[in-house]
Amino acid sequence: MHVTMVKKQLASGAACDKCIMAEGLLRDRGLWERIDRVVWAVEGQPDSEGMRLGQRFGVANAPFFVVRDRAGDESIVESTLHLMRALGPHGDSHARDSKAPSLSAPSAPIVSKQELDAVAPKLAASQPLDVVRYMLERFGRECAIAWSGAEDVVLIDMAARSGFEYSVFCLDTGRLHPETYRLIDKVRKHYGIEVELMAPETQALQAFVRKKGLFSFYEDGHQECCAVRKVEPLKRALSGYRAWLTGQRKDQSPATRGEVPVVQEDATFIGKLGTQAPLIKSNPLANWSSARVWSYIREHGVPYNELHERGFVSIGCEPCTRATLPGQHEREGRWWWEEATKKECGLHSAAPEPPVLQPALERDL
Ligand code: SF4
């Protein structure tokens, strides 16, 4: 099999972003050596070799690949992922670009720091759907959407539209509203997906409740309860993935989320590859406002929590969430008895270890 890769050269002389990503994927998988030739489709130069190949095969966008088999027959592959399958150990030398609705990303391509540094500014300027597509093409099922709010269902909708495989988990703290549980079931059916419910570790929860009761957060803050009911289950969930998507937005909380990036190495949690490779965290909606999220929900018929129709904006656990009044910021409905700078539960920042891991509580077991 002979493979010619056609890359696009912009008028500025630089390669297009997608071509850089495609080359990165091929190199990560050790498949770059299988590309026999690279030609350029130069923007504004219809006579460049890549442009002529595009015209000949009716392909409008690079990168694409011209694959010639032993018999000399040529076929076109427009997806880097499909080419990688064809070049893999069980590859089909007569590769054709299928439009299969659900695609698996290759397992274990490691994202180098260099790639992340190159891609981060581009993703920061991209539309959320393109960010979701990039992440899922890169990681597939090894990328999980951590679902807790309306924004996360928007991400599920985008993931479903991308055609790539993906995973979804939800932190079932045991204190969610009945409306939230109903929504989880509705979303499962609407998108035909599995939603993995991550429950708190039983012994830790029992020890915590025995010692502190069911409402200690009103007296000494929510961190301890969140550590048991949210942070430890999240840590456990993320240890099975290489990347995760969250619905965080900068304008959710000027005090704590004003600098949320679109993509980053997760500095708090460790993923499936342990210290071999960082867990990648992406917040595709970082630059969207609440109004933009809700316009997407309406436009695409995305299921949402019925509590939103009763004045709830940001919805968490039942005892720690209340409706907000017109003009109040959405986070004012969460842990309303605490200062604005403390309104994070440790899911998106360095958090204390769950108390069960601490000797004092272990003795109480
Ligand atoms: S939000 Fe409230 S009930 Fe839920 S885990 Fe945190 S402190 Fe506990």
Give the highest mean pLDDT range of 109-113, 115-119, 339-343: 115-119
Instruction: Give the Å distance between the CA of 260 and the centre of ligand 1.
Output: 23
Q: Is the CB of 208 under 6 A from ligand 1?
A: no
Q: Is the CB of 217 under 6 A from ligand 1?
A: yes
37 φ, ψ (degrees, to nearest 5): -155, 145
**Percent of residues, the chain, with pLDDT higher than 90:** 56
Q: What is the pLDDT of residue 18?
A: 79
Q: What is the pLDDT of residue 99?
A: 37
Counted domains in the chain? 2
Instruction: Give the Å distance between the CA of 335 and the centre of ligand 1.
Output: 9
**In the structure, what pLDDT confidence band is assigned to residue 333 with cuts at 50, 70 and 90?**
confident
Q: What is the pLDDT of residue 81?
A: 75
Collect all residues with Cβ–Cβ distance below 8 Å to 56 and sequence separation of at least 6: none
User: Across-strand partners of 294?
Assistant: none
Q: What is the pLDDT of residue 70?
A: 83
Q: Is the CB of 177 under 6 A from ligand 1?
A: no
Q: What is the pLDDT of residue 254?
A: 65
Residues 168, 71: one domain?
no
Residues 279, 151: one domain?
yes
CA-nearest residue, atom 1 of ligand 1: 317
pLDDT tens for residues 30-87?
888 899 999 999 999 999 999 999 999 998 889 999 999 888 888 898 888 778 877 7
pLDDT tens for residues 21-39?
788 778 877 888 899 999 9
**In the structure, what pLDDT confidence band is assigned to residue 94 with cuts at 50, 70 and 90?**
very low
Q: What is the pLDDT of residue 164?
A: 87
Write down the pTM of the prediction: 0.68
pLDDT tens for residues 277-300?
899 999 999 999 999 999 999 999
Residues 151, 288: one domain?
yes
* CATH label of the domain that carries residue 17: 3.40.30.10
pLDDT of 13 strictly over 90? no
Is residue 108 a part of any domain in this protein? no
Residues 61, 157: one domain?
no
Q: Is the CB of 7 under 6 A from ligand 1?
A: no
Residues 83, 117: one domain?
no
Exposure string (b/e) for 100-131, b if CB count within 10 Å is 16 or more? eeebebbeebebeeebeeebeebbeebebbbb
Residues 125, 55: one domain?
no
Residues 76, 217: one domain?
no
Instruction: Give the Å distance between the CA of 320 and the centre of ligand 1.
Output: 6
Is residue 117 a part of any domain in this protein? yes
330 φ, ψ (degrees, to nearest 5): -60, -35
Is residue 260 a part of any domain in this protein? yes
CA-nearest residue, atom 2 of ligand 1: 320
Residues 204, 117: one domain?
yes
pLDDT tens for residues 166-196?
999 999 999 999 999 999 999 999 989 999 9
Collect all residues with Cβ–Cβ distance below 8 Å to 341 and sequence separation of at least 6: 255, 256
Q: Which of 70, 87, 104 is the last residue of a domain?
A: 87
Instruction: Give the Å distance between the CA of 347 and the centre of ligand 1.
Output: 12
CA-nearest residue, atom 7 of ligand 1: 222
Is residue 305 a part of any domain in this protein? yes
User: In testing the pocket of ligand 1, which one of 173, 218, 219, 228 has its CB within 8 Å of the most ligand atoms?
Assistant: 173
**Percent of residues, the chain, with pLDDT higher than 70:** 85
User: Across-strand partners of 176?
Assistant: 317
pLDDT of 257 strictly over 50? yes
Residues 221, 319: one domain?
yes
Q: What is the pLDDT of residue 364?
A: 24
Q: Is the CB of 222 under 6 A from ligand 1?
A: yes
DSSP-based three-state secondary structure for 24: helix
Q: Is the CB of 316 under 6 A from ligand 1?
A: yes
Is residue 95 a part of any domain in this protein? no
Q: Is the CB of 173 under 6 A from ligand 1?
A: yes
Least confident residue range of 107-116, 329-338, 352-361: 352-361
Instruction: Give the Å distance between the CA of 76 and the centre of ligand 1.
Output: 53
Yes or no: say if 175 and 319 are a contact pair by the CB < 8 Å rule: yes
CA-nearest residue, atom 3 of ligand 1: 317
* CATH label of the domain that carries residue 302: 3.40.50.620
Q: What average pLDDT does the structure give for the chain?
A: 84
Which two structure tokens, joined as six digits, stand for 54? 């595009």
Residues 169, 315: one domain?
yes
**In the structure, what pLDDT confidence band is assigned to residue 163 with cuts at 50, 70 and 90?**
confident
Q: Is 345 in the active site?
A: yes
Is residue 104 a part of any domain in this protein? no
Is residue 92 a part of any domain in this protein? no
**Domain range for 219:** 113-364
Q: Is the CB of 354 under 6 A from ligand 1?
A: no
Residues 162, 290: one domain?
yes
Residues 227, 307: one domain?
yes
Is residue 102 a part of any domain in this protein? no
Q: What atom in ligand 1 is closest to the CA of residue 345?
A: 6
